[in-house]
Every structure is written in structure tokens, then in C-alpha cells.
Structure 1
Amino acid sequence: MTAQELLTVRDLAAGYGAVPVLRDVDLTIHAGTIVAVVGANGAGKTTLLRTLCGMVPASAGQVVLAGADLRGVPVEEVVRRGMAHVPEGRGVIGELTVHENLRLGGLWRRDRADAARALDEVYQLFEPLARRRRWHGHQLSGGERQMLALGRALVARPRLLLLDEPSLGLAPRVITQIMALLRRLRDETGLTVLLVEQNVHGALSVADEAVVMSLGRIVVRAPAARLRDDESLRHHYLGF
């Protein structure tokens, strides 16, 4: 592992019961970059994120974060080591207030003072949440729920953020805001992001690198700008 490598995945395989999904996945992610994972439905993108964070057990291979092997490590310990996962559907608890949802992101942290600072930073980052901190999750708009899910992950101060379909069901204006926020977090805080996204244009507009998955394997890895601008490559692997 070089000094710049944050995540290294080698020969990763995983699935659900007897059904294999991921096969021989190799991936390296450098610190301070956004990597977009794109591909058709059923390609294995969501399973990749779930396996990296420990929600789905790997059947083979290695997942190494900052030099530490994560295979077999409980999900809560993966978070402590610096990886946070925002699942598809956002996972906001509707019965809890905005503030209570955000506090969940830092409950495990021993440094209570810094956890409180991180929560304040999220309120500064997402002004609508600051205004609605006493609202319950079910009272928020789709865009606000996505902000809340992102904010809860950021309270944990992750080194690597796994983000699954953040644009799902959102208006184009909100999608643009979310993508701009990811770029800002990368530039200002050095946050590293692994972004799974069906909105290929949006993902490629913000990513440094792009990974194309097909049938549980990575079939292309290239600079995001190259995939965005190469019509033949897009057409062959993404169908447009």
C-alpha cells in the first residue's frame, strides 16, 4: 500500500446465501478522491458497498482500510476505523427528531467534545437541518432526509464515505446541490467518497475516477472525464 492509498480491495467475492454476486473484485481508492461506481441494475454496485462495510460477509478476498484488514470486523468497528455507509433509501428514522438522528452518528465516539463539534459542523453545512432540528424524520422532504443521512454519517468523521444512490427520487436541483456538496467536502476536508449512482451524468461530473461494474465484476476503471467524454466507451458499457 502506498502512502496515498486509503482502501485496497483484492479478489473480493460475496453474495447472498448460495447466490454469488461479487466475483474477483480488485479496487484501490486513493485518499481525497471521489470514485463513482456505475453500471446497470443488478451489476453488484450496492452489494459492493454492503460488503465493504461488513453488512454482507465476504466469501473470499481482502478489504484493507488504511493498512488494516476489515474482513470479519463487526459493522460498528468498521465505522470506528473510519468508514461510514449511507445506504440507498437513506435510512432516516422517522420517529426520531433531526437532532436525535444526527446524534446516532456519534454515539460510539469516546471524544464527546469533538462529537459535539462535528454535530455543530453538520448544522452549519446543512442550514435546513439547523432550522428543523426538532422536526421528526418523517416530516422532512426527500432532499432534507438525504441531507440528514449524509449529516449523520459525517458526525462519525469518516475517512471514507460509502454513498449509495444519493440522487434517488430527488429533484434535479437537489441532486445538483448534493453533488456540489460532495466536491466541497473532498476539496475542503479531504473526505474520500465511493459513490454508487444510477445518475451517471451527475456522478461523472463530480468524480475523479469511474468504475464500471457488470455481472459482479469491475470491467472498466478510468478517469471520470474520460468515461464522460468517450462516447464509444459509454455506449459499450453503459448503453448511452
Structure 2
Amino acid sequence: MSGPRPPLLRIDGLSAGYGGAAPVLRDVSLTVESKQIVAVLGANGAGKTTLLRTVSGQLRSSAGRVVFDGVDLRGVKVERMVRHGIAHVPEGRGVVTELTVDENLQLGGLWRKPRPALDDIYDLFPALARRRGHLGHQLSGGERQMLAIGRALAAEPRLLLLDEPSLGLAPKITAQIMALLRDLRDRTGLAVLLVEQNVRSALSVADEGLVLSLGRVVTRNDAATLAGDADLRHAFLGF
């Protein structure tokens, strides 16, 4: 008789930092299941972006393990993460501004054989379909964020690492992006590790949330419980 299925992503005792400075992450442990959105919350400097960079291989950990679908990711090169099923949308949107919308999306699915159907991406983002021949620098901030997410989805990931998708965007565009994440989770089983400054927005779409403070996890709970914990919100989330 088989036991319970292990989580899609498991992080155990992860510590990481930059150069010889003190670690930014300190003994962080968490899990993300398939078809689950986990929001990573905390003040500026708490270690949220560092966490995503370490998971995606951009930053080497000093201790701990990152295991994805049973595979230890230590030593896996950044460019090979997408082959394992992990896509990272960094803060700042990560669009190649000299390429067209269509070329950016093709770049996202470059290694897939057969190449993914871009029509599926355009169905998710009708605004991009109308701009497919435009260069990245000709897009609005919201369109660039859609393109960055669309390019990541073109790689057909099982886990999406998403860093501050609402930064600088109008509330309407933010709501559209959050609704898309919820739809993808429900329809395709996509798992999302979401770093988001808009706490209310993040918790409205997440299944669970965790709070980082000074590089450590101070609490983790279901999203509704975190949203309703006034003391926690005042102490760590600023509202």
C-alpha cells in the first residue's frame, strides 16, 4: 500500500545570502502541493525575492535542500530549471523589449518539442493577441506583465515562481492577473509560489500563506486565517 504523495516542492532548512554578508534566508522550510497557490508575505527585506531566486537556482544556498518532484535541485543550472517544470517570473517583468510579443512567447517555449501552441496563451491574454506584432518596449506596464507571465506559461511549467506581479499596476489589471492564477490552478493543476506586496490581493487567491520576517518563517496558515488575524497583520504585514 503506497503512502501519501510527497509535495511537488519541498524546501528544508534553506539558508542563502549574497557574497560574504549575513544570510538573508535563515532555515526556511515550506512545501507547495500540485494545484496549490502559496503566498509568501512580509515586509521589504524579509527575504521573499531571495527565496524565489534560490529556488530557481539564480542564487546558491548555503544550507538546506530544494526538492522538486523528488529531484534535489542542488547543482541544477538555471537554464535547465524549465526542463524540470519550473518557470520564474522575476520582479520587473523580464520582457525582452527588443523582441515582439510573438517572439517573446516563442522564446518561452523554445525548448518544448513540439512547440506549444501560442494560441492558448493568446486566449488567456486577449490584450496580447491584439499586440502580437508590437515590440516589448511599446507595451503598457500591464501588458508587459501579462507577456512575462505568458512567456513563462509557454514553457508549460508545473510550478510558477511569481515575484511581485502587481508592482506598479492598476488594481483592475492586478485583479485580472490574480483571477488568471486561480483559473490556471483549477483548470491545469498549476502550482504557484507567489511573492506579492498587495497582501489582500495575494490572500484572496492563495490557498495558504506564510510570513517571512528577517529571513525566517514566523507563521504559515490557510489564507483566510492569515487574512483574519489582526495581530499578525499589524505586526508583520502593515495593515
Q: Give the TM-score band, short-chain normalised.
A: over 0.9
Residue 97, structure 1, aligned to residue 107, structure 2: no
How does 1:64-213 map onto structure 2 within 5 Å?
A: 64-109=67-112, 111-112=113-114, 115-117=115-117, 119-213=118-212
How far apart in 2 are the matches of 1:136 and 1:35?
A: 33
What amino acid maps onto 1:13 in structure 2? S
Q: 1:36 aligns with which of 32, 36, 39?
A: 39
CA contact (8 A) 2:16 2:54 kept: yes
What amino acid maps onto 1:50 in structure 2? R
Quote the offset at 1:77 in angstroms.
Answer: 1.3
Residue 214, structure 1, aligned to residue 213, structure 2: yes
How far apart in 2 are the matches of 1:99 and 1:12?
A: 37
Quote the offset at 1:65 in angstroms.
Answer: 0.2
How far apart in 2 are the matches of 1:216 and 1:122?
A: 35
How far apart in 2 are the matches of 1:29 and 1:124?
A: 27
Instruction: Note the aligned Cα RMSD (angstroms).
Output: 1.1
Quote the offset at 1:2 in angstroms.
Answer: 4.0
Residue 5, structure 1, aligned to residue 4, structure 2: no
What amino acid maps onto 2:49 in structure 1? T
Quote the offset at 1:76 in angstroms.
Answer: 1.4
Residue 24, structure 1, aligned to residue 23, structure 2: no
Q: TM-score, normalised by structure 2?
A: 0.96
Quote the offset at 1:169 in angstroms.
Answer: 0.3
Residue 229, structure 1, aligned to residue 228, structure 2: yes
How far apart in 2 are the matches of 1:178 and 1:123?
A: 14
* Identity between Structure 1 and Structure 2 (%): 67
CA contact (8 A) 1:4 1:31 kept: no
How far apart in 2 are the matches of 1:184 and 1:192?
A: 11
Quote the offset at 1:138 in angstroms.
Answer: 0.5
Deviations 1:12-66, CA, capped at 9 Å, x for gaps: 1111101221110101111101000000000000000000000001111100000
* SS class of match (1:210): strand
Residue 14, structure 1, aligned to residue 16, structure 2: yes
Deviations 1:104-130, CA, capped at 9 Å, x for gaps: 111122x12xx232x221011111111
Quote the offset at 1:235 in angstroms.
Answer: 1.5
What amino acid maps onto 1:142 in structure 2? G
How far apart in 2 are the matches of 1:220 and 1:125?
A: 34
Q: Which runs of 5+ in 2 are unaligned?
A: none
Q: 1:55 aligns with which of 37, 55, 58?
A: 58
Q: TM-score, normalised by structure 1?
A: 0.96
How far apart in 2 are the matches of 1:139 and 1:236?
A: 41
Quote the offset at 1:4 in angstroms.
Answer: 5.0
Equivalent residue number for residue 45 of structure 1: 48
Quote the offset at 1:236 in angstroms.
Answer: 2.4
